[in-house]
Structures are given as C-alpha cells and as structure tokens.
Structure 1
Amino acid sequence: MPSRLKPEDQQRVDEYLRAPQHQVERQPFRPWLLLLVVLVVVIGLGLLSRLLSRLVL
C-alpha cells in the first residue's frame, strides 16, 4: 500500500521508527499461555468466592 504522506514526512517517520528505542525485540505471542493464565485466574477467583461465601454464611 503506498504511503499517503509526503516523501519528507515519510522519511521522518522512517527515521523515527529506526531509532534504537523503537527496535525492541518481542517474544512471539502465545495464545495458549494467555488462555491458561485466564483460566487459572477465573478458577482461582471462583474458588475464592466459594470460600468466602461459606465463611459468611
């Protein structure tokens, strides 16, 4: 897709993105790990709510 910016503006954007602080290496996204974390949190909060309800009643 061609850029809609003027060439000098596109050059400034490219320079900005090439700066060292914008070149952070990221680990690959792992959806199964995210799903596992969400499940553990939901189950943990469910168990905590059951425990609290038994203590209150």
Structure 2
Amino acid sequence: MTSRLNPDDQRRVDEYLKLPQNRVDRQPFRPLLLLLLVLVVVLVLGLLSRMLAGLVTG
C-alpha cells in the first residue's frame, strides 16, 4: 500500500514507530486456541442455562 504522506513525513512516522517505547511485542495469533476458548464459553453458558431452566421448571 502506498503512503499518502510526503517522503519526509513518512520518514518521521517510520522513525517514531521504531522507537522502543512505541513497539509492542505480541505473541503469535493462534486461531485454534481462540476457537477452543469460544467453544468452552458456549458450552459453559449452555450448561448454565440448562441448570437454571431445571431450577425454574423443576
């Protein structure tokens, strides 16, 4: 993607982003872990709703 900034402004932005206080080390994205987390949350909420329904109707 080309920048809409002029070269001097783009250079200043690049220098700013390279400063240590502006860098964030991130762990790699793990989609399977996210999928597992979503499945666990859905399962727990489903079980909780069944337990509550059993208390109300039982």
- TM-score tier by shorter-chain length is 0.7 to 0.9
Mapping 1:2-41, distance limit 5 Å: 2-41=2-41
Distance 2:35 2:16 in 1: 35
TM-score of the superposed pair, with normalisation by structure 2: 0.85
C-alpha RMSD of the superposition:
1.3
User: Which 4+ residue blocks in structure 1 deviate beyond 4 angstroms?
Assistant: none
Distance 1:38 1:12 in 2: 41
SS of match in other structure, 1:29: coil
TM-score of the superposed pair, with normalisation by structure 1: 0.86
Distance 2:21 2:50 in 1: 47
Runs of at least 5 residues in structure 1 that lack an aligned partner in the other structure: none
Q: Number of residues paired by the alignment?
A: 57
Residue type of the partner of 2:21? Q
Please tell me whether residue 51 in structure 1 is matched to residue 37 in structure 2.
no
Distance 2:3 2:54 in 1: 62
Identity percentage of aligned residues: 70
Distance 2:2 2:40 in 1: 45
